[in-house]
Amino acid sequence: MTRLTRRAAMTAMGAALATPAFLRRAQAAEVTLRLHHFLPAVAPMQSQFFEPWAKEISDASDGAIDIQIFPSMQLGGKPPQLADQVRQGICDIAWTLPVYTPDRFPVAETLSLPFMVRNAEKTSVAMQQLMDEFGGGEYRGMKPLAFHAHDGGKLHTRGKAVTSQADMQGMRLRAPNQATGELLAALGAETVFFPVTEMVVGLSNGLIDGCCLPYEVVPAFKLQELTQFSAAPAPGARGLYTNTFALLMSERSYDRMSPDLQKVIDGASGAALSQRIGAQFDAFEAFGKSKVEEQGNTIAEIPAEEIAKWQEMAQPIYDSWAGKLGDDGLDGAAVLKRANELLDAA
């Protein structure tokens, strides 16, 4: 090696050693995590939450963690399989709904019972706390990153608004989950259940007359063009229902990470993340409602006295759920009582 070549090599080595470790690390990701979800890429959840959250984790890890997002079930399978895909290693992180696998995650499903919702942020805070207290054993092989809920669902229908039990008679409605479907059936509706991704076909071909969903879903599926009426409980009452969500990570993927990168994941998950996603969903809700209003659709109000009657009719659903929790070794009455306390206090 010539003197000039040796000097250049020493200079390059010195520059490399002088470069901060985080800059050297940032040149290439150490860990690539695949995040799988069921909504289309145009959904606000991807552009306004998943993408910024992934960037925050990349920045916090100095580029060592790269989260690649796969919307619309691009890694294969159906939405009800997302939790198992995390456990099996098909993906590293998944965003899913416990109600897509009824009775499998009963504590996580509890706030999906009728009238167990305030707004999305407050309900998400309550759900995270409920899971911390009662749901620790439900997601074996998975590391829950956050639990949350959407705002109370509304009745979106064709032909007429639904503001009373009488209006419900004979209507074919897509139910958002099993428990809410039981309530709608008790009120006189004919209910069907399938994932929200199949709802557009059901409305377009006349299989259903309407659905029960929050406003936040409206823009992604152009629901304002498929229905003409929306109805919600009078202000002050709890919402008709919410669906609960789980953001899950594979324990194996987490365990393979170095302790400093695990700290990054830990810092970007938990109660603060649940509250953040809930607040995000409240913003999505306001935007979705604006699309219904822009379309010129009718927005009706379900009177408080009607909602009170519907809540009484839901009591057998709560009793049955307490029994299911009991079958899993939990005190079902205590779980429901605590859920209501957290909602009232949120």
* Residue the block writes with tokens 């608004």: 161
Residue 16 scores a pLDDT above 70: no
Share of the chain above pLDDT 90, in %: 81
Say if residue 141 is exposed, middle or buried (CB neighbours under 10 Å; 0-12, 13-18, 19+).
middle
How many CA atoms within 13 Å lie on the side-chain side of 153? 27
Cα–Cα–Cα angle for 247, 291, 243, rounded to 5 degrees:
30
pLDDT, mean over the chain:
91
Q: Please name the residue that has the structure tokens 């919702």.
A: 117
DSSP assignment string, 147-167: EEE-PPPEEEESSS---SHHH
- pTM for the full model? 0.87
Q: Tens digit of pLDDT for each residue in 77-110?
A: 999 999 999 999 999 999 999 988 999 999 999 9
Q: Could you give the CA distance from residue 263 to residue 283 in angstroms, rounded to a whole number?
A: 29
| CATH code of the region 154-241+294-345 | 3.40.190.170
Q: Which DSSP symbol is given to 270? A: S
CB atoms within 10 A of CB 172: 16
Residues sharing a CB contact under 8 Å with residue 1, sequence separation 6 or more, in sequence order = 9
Q: Are 229 and 297 in contact (CB under 8 A)?
A: yes
Domains 28-151+243-285 and 154-241+294-345 share a fold: yes
Residues 229, 157 contacting (CB under 8 angstroms): yes
Is the pLDDT assigned to residue 181 strictly greater than 60?
yes
pLDDT at 21 over 50: no
Place of tokens 């009718």: 298
Place of tokens 């890890």: 61
Report the distance separating Cα 153 and Cα 156, nearest Å. 9
Q: Can you give the residue ranges of every domain in the chain? A: 28-151+243-285, 154-241+294-345
Instruction: Kindly report the CATH number that applies to the domain delimited by 28-151+243-285.
Output: 3.40.190.170
Residue 116 has pLDDT above 60, yes or no: yes
* Category of 62 on φ-ψ map: left (φ > 0), alpha (ψ -120 to 50) or beta: left
